[in-house]
Structure 1
């Protein structure tokens, strides 16, 4: 209230505001904490995921005692502890085309901290249909981006990224890594944009994209304009359907996937000389060092991209691929198949499924 631009009027506007934060992860964490501390009256949190130990280096709204809990509920408790005056509504379910409009109608402002393309397109389209402002941010490794979208006053996410990407074409933060402090930097900007939109002060990032390179300590601004060829959203489709352009061959999943139990049996047969195949881990060395499947050979996806012939491995040799969850192994599958390998399969659910089903004593990251 000491800030002349805000004062008593700005504080009262904050106390009456209803803000929905999509995602209680790396970006949602600082956004939620700062908005609660600023005195935002109602905060909604939608996230259907559970807290994992590996999240905690960047998802500061959660603690070690919250591992296994739903993120929406864990974040709700942290916010109430920080500011009991803030009303918190936890929505521990997946955002879909069926529930997004009724949910968004309950709030004045949407903040998108989702970690996947499907949700981002869905959030942007729903906000555009309801003509609600949307603060968007994303991070990966050492880079982050922030902007404000608001139909009909300015561009939307589709003006910035008109073409929906391939499913699995970009790894998640859990697969590629993210500097924890970067989430704080980008999330703080998102919170500041929300405060400006609520109180009507300053110049927002509407029509501008702000990027941050943490390694180079450099901020950069890019202008965004509405695409004159684009048409306004009139209905919604689940983003995962829009983005579903498979990286894998058009063969039945049972022909291209192998279950953890079937892989366990195949490895046993290989140890006895009754079967011969290559088990290839396409993750990064740090991931492999943390947890691996016995008998797997590390060959990161980047190397397969540069040399899909696998060091002259015979093309008639069976190859089984795995990553953390599946997207990277599917890309490697497509590359090897295109290179002429006859029998290529992927581990369904990746090493996470292997640890859950076969070696539960191993770390799950």
Structure 2
């Protein structure tokens, strides 16, 4: 299939359709409003259903219902809207249902700004709802990767029975890049025999959320974490950039990693042996990427569009909080390449 030039928000909407999504429930909010706008036009053309709900809370509970019926279902929003969806996301996670959620992050907290940010990391990766649970979190760094990850998200959601969150930011949603759509399911997916079909005869199914007895609830949680252990073992994903001879390593994801990549080219020209580990999965965090590098890397330089929400995961992965240096901009401010170059030089010992 030939590449086409598309805005990120519209491209992820098309990617969802290509992956078999036929139901979208959402509510407009900048900077992701083109996702529902695109799907409101295109989903009906393939026999799908688009609903602009009366609120984000209503939208996520519609997702809960459609997921329980076995549908491939999507919702999207941006930071404050995702915050409103957290209770419903927790319910879907606890019920073990597949759903895909796109968050085009903006600056915060609260209503914040409409400019891009990455300060939803903790809310998304650590769990924004109550209780013990995880969702798979994918972090694209380009429009093409956002397309690919949305397609993959539906397969991961169905395979593991869990929500998958595609965590991007407003820049990726708003920029235009050439993309191609080539959906190929890479998982062997079982029939959804558990789905609630409403036929009223045959085998009866129940989707459970409330577990009254403490011992039963604990066992329920432990069964979820057995699944999470499998996900952690099998689904960690990352990119290593110029790490073969690196003595220092940036750690960055999404839009920030694109800026870091440009900074690395200047630092390499200046003689610094520096590379980057770019997490593609934020949960499970790619700890495996650090295992083989710990002894040769002098410092890890975490760069984010937040106040350092990923730092703890990097420190845990490299098993040494003293090896972490952080640089971040927040509130919708995007760091410039020269800022990252100066930060890198400062950490690595000044000008060569």
Which category of TM-score, normalised to the shorter sequence, fits these structures? 0.3 to 0.5
Scaled by the length of structure 1, the TM-score of the pair is: 0.35
